[in-house]
Structure 1
């Protein structure tokens, strides 16, 4: 009898530890901006996600996301305007899907509605600086002409490469490509290999720009963690690929989460 009781205690203890060690799955879905406002440094052509072909792809993509089954979906919307996002989410879905090309509508809202979610979660933090013009001026003042050339070549290569893919790939292929390790590395490398060097030795304009970018993404990551409850087994984060590439680094150091690759979800 004592052996049975002891075995029962061990079994309960094992189950508790197993439950506590179970990692939450996080799908980091990086994307280009479907409605490109031209505000990014690199100028990328607009891809028509409203075409019949792309809309069929979006139905397939979001059906696959539904099958993955995230308990919450986080989006690039100012966290201080959650009430506005809630109101937006409750608008006529069919009307939004036919008129609004934004990825929050076409991917996040479409997926959330299929999953029966009551809301999307706003996590963007916009109270940061991105002094790109000051960075270029700092490079010039420091006589960093090789760095300026490298920066210009990097931007030009990125624009040419992305625009060529937009002309060649379908929507699914574009999203898969932008979520590869190579793409994620490219998104991070510019900050840590080029931007950070900008300015004279007593001018940290480059490091400041990088730190502000990290701060914005760290604050978003903090909100992801705060809003993810113990009952949530799976979550999805839909952000510009530059954000997900950075957040990926943070998640990789968090033993509570495991990253689920988009290619696995869409296979």
Structure 2
């Protein structure tokens, strides 16, 4: 009984100490791909971020990021190619901003330069598989007609919805929209409601695809933690919205971090 009592006292003291520790703030900035290389399953149109209007918005957005003051900015760049990223970051900033529409340049690099950062941090992991063609084949072989229909409707709805918003929304409105609670939920829903069911009972192609997506994001989350030092009070993570939606799930179970919402930061 004494041992149990001591353990409870130690646990309570530990938890109290943890509660008093200042949490690190993490801005999860989910983005769509500004250059849209067409590699995603859902095919959407490209938004012109190089227009005068969008460039003014990007200046405002990155001014707000500067005010937030992250100590490090993490991006969707292969972590094994950090040296290449360092060389890229050292290139002429004005030339990059005028000629490269990628969100890494337009948001991350622009922000980091304003903050006086010496580098950006690549955290992407490219060793995971994403066997979408095998998933569709597995659904057909299993005769999962309802699932196939749901999958096709989901993809079509996403494409139509996003392409419609492109014609109506400003860049800022579009970015805020894909970072809402609903958008984050929708990003996860396809994996856990549709993809995971794909294949016959002895074919786990769907579950494998989902597990690989989790693995990629979990490895990215691990790199965020490894590269965040004790002296860092605030960090920013700029990734595709599908990644930030999942990484959010990991962060919410880590009492060392406090999520800062994009909508709050842009006020």
Task: Normalising by structure 2, report the TM-score.
Answer: 0.93
Q: Which residue pairs with 1:128 in the alignment?
A: 128
> Which structure 1 residue ranges, 5 or more long, are not aligned?
1-15
Q: 1:84 to 1:19 in 2, by over 3 A?
A: farther
Q: Which residue pairs with 1:254 in the alignment?
A: 254
3-state SS in 2 of match to 1:239: strand
Aligned pairs for 1:8-157 within 5 A: 17=17, 21-157=21-157
> Which structure 2 residue ranges, 5 or more long, are not aligned?
1-15
Q: Which residue pairs with 1:186 in the alignment?
A: 186
Instruction: Tell me how far 1:17 sits from its aligned partner.
Output: 4.5
Instruction: Tell me how far 1:214 sits from its aligned partner.
Output: 0.2
Instruction: Tell me how far 1:20 sits from its aligned partner.
Output: 6.0
Q: Write the distance in 1 (CA, Å) between the matches of 2:28 and 2:149.
A: 33
3-state SS in 2 of match to 1:101: coil
Q: Write the distance in 2 (CA, Å) between the matches of 1:18 and 1:57.
A: 39
Q: Which residue pairs with 1:8 in the alignment?
A: none
Q: Which residue pairs with 2:4 in the alignment?
A: none
Q: Write the distance in 2 (CA, Å) between the matches of 1:262 and 1:139.
A: 37
Q: Write the distance in 2 (CA, Å) between the matches of 1:164 and 1:84.
A: 36
Q: Which residue pairs with 1:12 in the alignment?
A: none
Q: Write the distance in 2 (CA, Å) between the matches of 1:61 and 1:17.
A: 36
Task: Normalising by structure 1, report the TM-score.
Answer: 0.93
Instruction: Tell me how far 1:152 sits from its aligned partner.
Output: 0.3
Kindly provide the CA deviation profile for residues 121-144 of structure 1, in whole angstroms up to 9, marking residues without a partner as x.
000000110000000000000000
Instruction: Tell me how far 1:19 sits from its aligned partner.
Output: 9.3
**1:244 pairs with 2:240:** no
Instruction: Tell me how far 1:18 sits from its aligned partner.
Output: 7.8
Q: Write the distance in 1 (CA, Å) between the matches of 2:255 and 2:126.
A: 28
Q: Write the distance in 1 (CA, Å) between the matches of 2:185 and 2:210.
A: 15
Q: Write the distance in 2 (CA, Å) between the matches of 1:170 and 1:39.
A: 24
Instruction: Tell me how far 1:75 sits from its aligned partner.
Output: 0.2
Instruction: Tell me how far 1:183 sits from its aligned partner.
Output: 0.2
Q: Write the distance in 2 (CA, Å) between the matches of 1:20 and 1:133.
A: 49
Q: Which residue pairs with 1:204 in the alignment?
A: 204
3-state SS in 2 of match to 1:258: strand
3-state SS in 1 of match to 2:247: helix
3-state SS in 1 of match to 2:76: strand
Q: Write the distance in 1 (CA, Å) between the matches of 2:99 and 2:26.
A: 29
Instruction: Tell me how far 1:21 sits from its aligned partner.
Output: 1.3
3-state SS in 1 of match to 2:188: helix
Instruction: Tell me how far 1:146 sits from its aligned partner.
Output: 0.3
Q: Which residue pairs with 1:169 in the alignment?
A: 169
Q: Write the distance in 1 (CA, Å) between the matches of 2:105 and 2:183.
A: 24
Cα RMSD for the two superposed structures: 1.4
Kindly provide the CA deviation profile for residues 213-263 of structure 1, in whole angstroms up to 9, marking residues without a partner as x.
000000000000000000000000000000000000000000000100000
